[in-house]
Chain A
Amino acid sequence: MSQPNDFGFGEEAALLKDSARKFFADNLPVDALHRLVADNPDPDRAPAVIWREDLWQQMVELGWSMLAVPEAAGGLGMPLVAVAGLVEELGRAAFPCPLLGTLNATYVLAACGDSGLAALEEICGGRSAALALTGASGSWQAADTPLTVSGGRLSGTASYVQDAGKADRLLALAHCDSGFALYWVDAKADGVAIDSDAIVDLTRDQARVTFSDVEALRVSDNGLVAVNQAMPAIWTLLAADMAGAAEWQLQTTVEYVSTRKQFERPLGFFQAVKHPLVDVMIRIDETRSLLYNAACAWDHEPEKAAQYAHMAKASASDLAGYASSRSVQYHGGIGFTWECFVHLYFKRQKHSQVLFGDGAWHRAQLADILLPAAA
């Protein structure tokens, strides 16, 4: 199969991206975001789940949470390139909501065949979701899931569950007698305990989720295959979030160094400041080109999807670290304070940088594909 030259990014995708940008800018501009999530700077503050649930409901009504659900399951069946366009805008706004988790679950469920249909219909009905498959060691290999199932009951503690405090459902991968099974669990069910982590990132929540003999809907007997099949989409969308956030960091920092004067010159006059910001731009463009290539491969050339998604997430992770450090550094003293908005993005990006594998991990995976025998 071959990819269309334009990534398959058509008019519908462009409209979706534009309307998402407008929605986030109108409803939660960065000053409002800061008032919402950065109200309490106390480093010892208790973990809290802070978001605008009313805005999430509006996003659900716009159909954004069911964009990726196949039409056969009642969803909109949009291609990954279009979803990636929306998620870039989500990242640009550093918007707190369970959209990424819900999309991630969608791609896993869609790989489960008919047994995933009931759960996908719940997503179409407005339910949000989070993936539970990582253990305390932080391994991103799905086969390392800490959860087990016996006698049809789910047990164990999943760590680093993203936006668990906002999700209605948990999609859990567990070891079972025959291999790996996937379960669709009501987050409020008896035996489910969600312990929020105290995290640096103010725009997300994260939790350890403990399952104690929980009875739940089994959506796949072949869960590892479904999760691994969905991973390229998951990596690609996270890369899109990071590219969008990095563009905000770039534009905000460029604006600051173009107005702030020292030595009778705007800071951006000095090449020690100007050139690294150009490098941030270049890395953003590399990441964007790679992530739309990965998304297009997912849509049109699935045999290349994993390879290209590793490239996109590796590039995005390195970009996120670089753009974050430069954004704080070039804001100078004010950039080191809680009142300057750059810390919101700095913290989200440092979080995204390691989620689902950092740059070195994705390059190691890619090397195993491209240089297999030598390892």
Chain B
Amino acid sequence: MSDSAHRDSPEQAEFRQYCQDWLANNTPGEPPVRLPQSALEIMTEAQLAYLQDWQKAAYDAGLVGCDYPVEVGGGGRKDCQRIANQEMIRARTPFFPNVIGLGMAAPTVFYHGQDALKQQLLPRLFSGEDIWCQGFSEPGAGSDLASVQTFAERKGDKWVINGHKVWTSLAHFAEWMILLLRTDKSHKYDGLSYFVVPIRSALGKGVTVRPLIKITGETGFNEVIFDNLEVDDSFRLDELGKGWQVAMTTLLHERGAGELQTPRSGGMTSRSTHETKAAAVMDLARNTPRGEGCAAADPLLRDRLMQAVIREKAFEQSQRRSRVQPLLDHPMRLPLQNKLLASEIAQEVSELALDVAGPAGSLYLADANAPAGGQWPLAYMNTFGMTIAAGTSEVQRNILGERVLGMPKSK
């Protein structure tokens, strides 16, 4: 019996077996094209099509949205998404392309949308047929998110939207956007409202999507400009002026601290993409010459390698401890660390890989001699997306210090 299977409920045990059986026959083969390291860097239609096919197959098999009610296209199960995720990661499946939809839009629509809207939007979100993106940050609103200026003006049953969103991952493929905007200029927080907006159908008719190029040379995120886009009031989530509270639901789930478990597929551990865990850096160290021996014999690198191994293990064990009530303090103490730790550990590990690789760490994707195909420098650079997006590490430390430890607010 596997570690994770040890304490399954009968329903979970049966579902786990089902997932294993299905995955044994349906895990996709090698992709026809090089895949990026995560869904946030999908650049081509061919990459998207391969990944969309996989998400649709997994949804049809019941591995996506397991814990959502049947009425909104979910599986109607209890605490089973975790099981499906574990089995998909174990089976080394590719990642899901609709990450913004699954991780952020779905819980937000589910908790704050009207029934008709949930039934309309969630099934095609879970299946990956509709890709979603997130319109939060603006040129003038980064860490201070509540200062967004994109404005919606009421016009009967409609709203007319004008403004400028940035860092909008997947907008170039997205049908829908979750959108935080201002409906009242006289109140900072209480002047915010939250909408879901169809953007693909409005391209060239009030919506412009332009790619931004990342530090890695990849695209994948965009700027989105609204120029008198009209949307129906039925696309509003929750009450007028409650946008900030709705955004908190989004951010809580984005940071891995929400009530609903996000459907998560193989991701970085899939066969076709590159393994970026400390174990892979140990392999790199064994295979990298250093002096008479290899980098894995260097005492200083050995110490750093073990630091990385230990932090990864600690993070894994904190996920486990977060479900053991008598070993917890403040209920949000571990969940609110998830995003900060996942991103900082990934950064530490990939930075270490470059130090281990030495001069060969300078070789990038197009160089035939690059260790691991040049994926390490790519991984290291991409981790800054993780430590900056969804609330920077500095904002995360404010949240932890204030909400968990109760220290005075830094604003």
Contact = CB atoms under 8 A, between A and B. Distances in A.
Interface of A: 2-7, 9, 13-14, 17, 85, 250, 254, 257-258, 265-266, 268-271, 274-275, 277-279, 281-282, 285-290, 292-293, 308, 311, 314-315, 360, 363-364, 366-367, 370-371, 373-375
Interface string B1-16: 1111011000000000
B324 A9 contact: yes
A329 B156 CA distance: 60
B320 A371 contact: no
A360 B400 contact: no
Given A2-B2, A3-B3, A374-B286, A367 B305 contact: yes
B282 A371 contact: yes
A250 B405 CA distance: 9
Contact of B323 (A6, A85, A285, A371): A6
Interface footprint category on B? 35 or more
Contacts of A6: 7, 323-324
Count chain A CB atoms within 10 A of each CB in B6, B303, B310, B337 and give the residue with the most: B310
A5 B7 contact: yes
A13 B337 CA distance: 26
Contact of B401 (A268, A360, A363, A375): A268
Interface in B352-404: 394, 397-398, 400-402, 404
A278 to B, nearest CB: 5
Interface in B300-331: 302-303, 305-307, 309-311, 313-315, 317-318, 320-321, 323-324, 326-327
B263 to A, nearest CB: 21
Given A254-B405, A277-B405, A374-B293, A290 B305 contact: no
A17 B317 CA distance: 20
B333 A258 contact: no
B51 interface: no
B321 A288 contact: yes
B394 A275 contact: yes
A286 B318 contact: yes
Given A275-B401, A371-B282, A374-B286, A366 B327 contact: no
Contact of A363 (B303, B327, B407): B303
A258 B320 CA distance: 31
Contacts of B318: 285-286, 289
Interface in B160-201: none
Contact of A375 (B297, B303, B323, B398): B297
Given A278-B397, A282-B400, A363-B306, 7 more contacts: A254-B406, A274-B401, A282-B341, A314-B306, A364-B303, A367-B305, A375-B302
A245 to B, nearest CB: 15
A366 B309 contact: yes
Count chain B CB atoms within 10 A of each CB in A4, A277, A285, A286 and give the residue with the most: A285
Contacts of B7: 4-6
Given A274-B398, A367-B306, A5 B407 contact: no
Given A271-B410, A375-B297, A7 B321 contact: yes
A13 B305 CA distance: 34
Contact of A271 (B310, B313, B397): B397
A19 to B, nearest CB: 13
A275 B303 contact: no
Given A254-B407, A363-B306, A364-B303, A13 B326 contact: yes
A366 B306 contact: yes
Contacts of A258: 406-408
B409 interface: yes
B302 A275 contact: no
A346 to B, nearest CB: 20
A367 B3 CA distance: 24
A300 B409 CA distance: 44
A279 B410 CA distance: 16
A290 B407 contact: no
B326 A364 contact: no
Given A2-B1, A278-B397, A366-B306, A290 B314 contact: yes
B285 interface: yes
Interface in B328-353: 333-334, 337, 340-341
**A-side interface mostly:** helix
A367 B314 contact: no
A33 to B, nearest CB: 22
Contacts of B310: 286, 290, 311, 314-315, 363, 366
A85 B325 CA distance: 13
A286 B333 CA distance: 12
Nearest to A368: B302
A250 B1 CA distance: 40
A293 B317 contact: yes
A287 B409 CA distance: 27
A6 B321 CA distance: 7
26 contacts: A2-B2, A2-B3, A4-B6, A4-B7, A5-B4, A6-B323, A9-B326, A250-B405, A254-B406, A265-B408, A270-B410, A271-B398, A277-B401, A277-B407, A278-B405, A281-B400, A285-B318, A314-B310, A315-B310, A363-B306, A363-B307, A363-B310, A367-B306, A371-B296, A371-B305, A374-B297
Nearest to B330: A281
A364 B302 contact: yes
Contacts of B2: 2
A277 B407 CA distance: 10
Interface string B276-299: 000000100110000001101101
A5 B323 contact: yes
B410 A285 contact: no
Given A282-B341, A290-B317, A17 B305 contact: no
A146 to B, nearest CB: 27
Contacts of A311: 309-310, 313-314
Nearest to A251: B405
A282 B315 CA distance: 10
Contacts of B286: 371, 373-374
B314 A315 contact: yes
Contacts of B315: 286
A139 to B, nearest CB: 18
Contacts of A290: 310, 313-314, 317
A285 B4 contact: no
B314 A281 contact: no
Given A4-B6, A274-B410, A363-B303, A281 B320 contact: no
Contacts of A360: 303
Contact of B296 (A275, A282, A374): A374
A318 to B, nearest CB: 9
A265 B410 CA distance: 10
A370 B323 contact: no
A286 B313 CA distance: 9
Contacts of B3: 2-3, 5
Given A254-B407, A285-B334, A363 B313 contact: no
A366 B4 CA distance: 24
